[in-house]
């Protein structure tokens, strides 16, 4: 019996302080491994295509696409780091030490915060493009978009460091046994995190897109009825390109999918894990990560330039000297 107990421990030599191995059945572990590995590979591959497309083709260097590039980077990191890490935590013991555990949790917070910030920036971009089209070219430029992206990632790093400062200074202090990787946030930091990464961004996104939706509907009706300018404001509205309306619709779908995937995860922060089943907790987390795989699928469904870019990349036509100047819009 003693031998069996030791086999079930993460560190058999530490009988009194070692964690027990996860009791996940081997068939469940294999199924989870196949599913998460497949989603992880697809997520990395699709977002890598987005990154190569926007980075390589000069015609795609627009403010909106710069924001989509930043979102693709965060999604790629989710597929490359967070999905494998989650499988590792669910199916086996943590053998990488307390410091790596702390760094993993810190990186997870950075990626999540940056993703939320990218969504807010995308919403602001579409709001200005639809609601103030005359000033959009001067207010939203590529250099400003790049600056906003850099500030978004920098703020995410600083915010993560402040929220997880206790864990960074004392790695492993909240682990109840060896072989465990847990993160504990004090109540005040938890409230700040909930407000800054969920309540405030979601409010901004919903308010801006409600405004965008109303204006886009009015513009679409005006273009269909061929109403000529009655006032200066109406004439400005009617000159908005159909491409901007289509971009607003596409990014609107992106935001709606984002809300569907993220809300269950953040609801756990309000309700607490103890009040919910572990099945729902796992489902909410996997849905949260699955959003990173859905984003490039949305691009492929709604953006013709992305489908053209995929063909050029897959058939290695981007290796040609003049491929960078190809107009795929």
Q: How far apart are CA 100 and CA 28, in angstroms?
A: 27
pLDDT at 24: 65
Closest CA to 171 of 246, 101, 115, 267: 101
CB < 8 Å & 24+ apart, contacts of 208-211: 208/123, 208/124, 208/126, 208/127, 209/123, 209/126, 209/127, 209/252, 209/255, 211/127, 211/131
31-74 pLDDT tens trace: 777 888 888 999 999 999 999 999 999 888 999 999 999 999 99
Cβ pair 215, 131 in contact under 8 A: yes
Q: What is the pLDDT of residue 230?
A: 46
Long-range contacts of 88-94 (CB under 8 A, 24+ apart): 89/181, 90/22, 90/24, 90/32, 90/282, 91/22, 91/24, 91/29, 91/32, 91/33, 92/21, 92/22, 93/10, 93/11, 93/19, 93/21, 93/22, 93/179, 93/180, 94/10, 94/179, 94/180, 94/181
Say what the pTM is. 0.84
Nearest 5°: the CA angle 319, 323, 327 is 155
Rounded to whole angstroms, how far apart are CA atoms 3 and 22?
17
**Kind plus residue range of the DSSP H or E element containing 67:** helix 63-77
Strand, helix or coil at 290?
helix
Is residue 2 within 8 Å of residue 8, measured between CB atoms?
A: no
User: So what's the pLDDT on residue 277?
Assistant: 53
Check residues 163 and 158 and name the one with the higher pLDDT: 158
Res. 114: pLDDT tops 90: yes
- pLDDT value for 5: 44
Homologous superfamily (CATH) for 19-325: Rhodopsin 7-helix transmembrane proteins (1.20.1070.10)
More confident residue, 11 or 106: 106
Predicted confidence band of residue 80 (pLDDT cuts 50, 70, 90): very high
Residue 274: pLDDT over 70? no
Better-scored residue on pLDDT, 182 or 82: 82
User: What percentage of residues in the chain have a pLDDT greater than 90?
Assistant: 20
User: What tens digit of pLDDT does each residue of 117-160 get?
Assistant: 998 998 899 889 888 888 888 999 999 999 999 999 999 999 99
Enumerate the domain spans of the chain: 19-325
Q: Is 170 exposed, middle or buried (0-12, 13-18, 19+ CB in 10 A)?
A: exposed
What is the C-alpha to C-alpha distance for residues 174 and 97, in angstroms, rounded to an integer? 13
DSSP-derived letter for residue 82 is I
């Amino acid at each position: 019996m003693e031998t069996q107990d030791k086999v079930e421990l993460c560190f058999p030599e530490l009988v009194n302080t070692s964690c027990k191995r996860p009791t996940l059945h081997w068939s469940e572990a294999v199924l989870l491994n196949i599913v998460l590995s497949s989603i992880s590979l697809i997520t990395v591959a699709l977002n890598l295509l987005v990154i190569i497309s926007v980075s390589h083709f000069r015609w795609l260097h627009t403010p909106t696409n710069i924001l989509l590039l930043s979102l693709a980077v965060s999604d790629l990191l989710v597929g490359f780091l967070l999905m494998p890490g989650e499988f590792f935590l669910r199916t086996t013991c943590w053998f990488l030490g307390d410091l790596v555990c702390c760094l993993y949790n810190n990186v997870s917070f950075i990626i999540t915060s940056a993703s939320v910030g990218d969504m807010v920036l995308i919403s602001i971009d579409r709001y200005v493009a639809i609601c103030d089209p005359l000033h959009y070219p001067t207010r939203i430029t590529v250099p400003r978009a790049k600056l906003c992206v850099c500030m978004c990632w920098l703020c995410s790093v600083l915010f993560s460091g402040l929220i997880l400062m206790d864990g960074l200074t004392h790695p492993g202090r909240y682990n109840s046994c060896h072989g465990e990787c847990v993160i504990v946030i004090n109540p005040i930091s938890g409230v700040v995190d909930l407000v800054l990464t969920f309540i405030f961004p979601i409010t901004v996104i919903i308010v801006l897109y409600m405004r965008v939706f109303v204006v886009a509907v009015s513009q679409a009706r005006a273009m269909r009825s061929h109403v000529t300018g009655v006032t200066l404001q109406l004439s400005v509205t009617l000159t908005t390109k159909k491409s901007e309306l289509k971009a607003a619709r596409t990014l609107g779908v992106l935001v709606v999918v984002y809300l569907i995937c993220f809300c269950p995860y953040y609801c756990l922060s309000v309700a607490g894990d103890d009040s919910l089943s572990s099945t729902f907790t796992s489902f909410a987390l996997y849905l949260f990560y699955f959003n990173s795989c859905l984003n490039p699928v949305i691009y492929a469904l709604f953006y013709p330039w992305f489908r053209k870019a995929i063909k050029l990349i897959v058939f290695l036509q981007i290796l040609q000297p003049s491929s960078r100047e190809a107009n795929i819009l």
